[in-house]
Amino acid sequence: MKTFTENKKLSNFARTGVLHTRVGDVKTPTFMPDGTRGAVKSLTPEQVTNTGVEVVLANTYHLHLNPGEEVIKNLGGLHNFANRKGPMLTDSGGFQVFSLGKHVKVTEEGVYFKDPVTGEKRLITPETSIQIQLDLGADMVVAFDHLVGLDESVSDEDVKEAFDRTHRWLERCIIEFKRLTKGVKNDERPMLFGVVQGGLDLELRKKSLQIIQDSDADGIAIGGLSVGETREEMEIVLKELAPLYRDDKPRFLLGVGTPEDLRIAVENGIDMLDCVLPTRNARHATVWAENSQKIHLTNERFKEDSSVIEKGCDCYACANGFSKAFLRHQFKSGEPLAGTLASIHNLRHMMRICEEYQNR
């Protein structure tokens, strides 16, 4: 199955290309907003598409808990459920389980956790993670991995244990994925990403990448970043991996999503990124303006500012003249339109950066 075509080298490692999914091709580099519960908060599918976004990520953990993958499958899968025509990617649920902290028990079988709403004890294994994602109907799925943080409480032994378990779980994910897609034509089956782990240990990271690239995974996902490390530490890891990637597999950086992070990632060979940050920030009145400068629209200095968020931006909010003064008023009044317009702008800002690379 051909999952990626490299079009052009832009520098030592940055590149443009085409990601081949079963529901259509996607130009890269690309940014993917998080539609946690199947949709990007406060935006219609049309509004998302109009920003230039081609792929939306949905969250396996949250959809598994509510309404459940069986409900979504019976309703025709994520595309019908969310009324989205373009490609959709689901994460494995590993990050959300990790974020539950002390309420989680990791075993070789999988991860035990309590439903935060009902208190019900649940288990996600590598096999059930794949089953859930395929029942949801995603076009791209991610192998279940063991994620640890990168703060001082995490030892080298913890990182190594998670590294080893991640690759044992990858083997189980691949077996289950092949079992469930047996008989499905190559151009009709989803794409499976294996996850590179290893914390800030560069040798472990390189070994993990080699394992993923030698496996039957269709794509490479770089995990375990954006969990407490500095931007400089993230960049060191990405630079170390950049010369080692195969050209024929897409590279996906999980959970990273500021304009600066996007540029660092693409310059180091990344094709795809996802993050909730652009839309979450937007709903809290924080947007990116000229030169990706971050501004807070509720600031008093915008009370009588008739200018748009970003001069020259072609997003709906800027192109139609919604002023900073109006947006400030809407945020101060608690009107949801403000968050919608700011979200549209932030997504378009991210996609314009991607398009700058695509059009070189």
Among 44-58, 60-74, 102-116, the least confident range: 102-116
What CA–CA distance (Å, rounded) separates 149 from 153? 8
Q: List the domain boundaries for the chain.
A: 28-230, 277-360
Residue 33 DSSP class: E
Encode 213-247: b = buried (16+ Cβ within 10 Å), e = exposed.
Answer: bebebbbbbbbbbbbebeeeebbebbeebbeebee
Closest by Cα among 56, 46, 51, 41 to 283: 41
- Residues designated catalytic: 91, 274
pLDDT digits (tens, 9 = 90+) for 231-243: 999 999 999 999 9
**Is the pLDDT assigned to residue 116 strictly greater than 90?**
no
Domain 28-230 has CATH 3.20.20.105: yes
Share of the chain above pLDDT 90, in %: 89
- Of 86 and 226, more confident: 86
Share of the chain above pLDDT 70, in %: 99
What CA–CA distance (Å, rounded) separates 98 from 113? 10
Average predicted confidence (pLDDT) for the chain: 95
pLDDT digits (tens, 9 = 90+) for 149-198: 777 778 999 999 999 999 999 999 999 999 999 999 999 999 999 999 99
Return left, alpha or beta for 83; rule: phi > 0 is left, psi -120 to 50 is alpha, else beta: left
What CA–CA distance (Å, rounded) separates 272 from 148? 22
The helix-helix angle for 259-267 and 231-241 (nearest 10°) equals 20
Q: Name the pLDDT band for 111 (thresholds 50, 70, 90).
A: very high
- 65 phi and psi, to 5 degrees? -75, -35
Q: Beta strand pairing status for 219-222 and 251-253?
A: parallel
pLDDT at 291: 97
Per-residue pLDDT averaged across 333-350, rounded?
A: 98
10 Å CB burial of residue 51 (0-12, 13-18, 19+) is: buried
What CA–CA distance (Å, rounded) separates 330 from 285? 10
Per-residue pLDDT averaged across 131-157, rounded?
A: 91
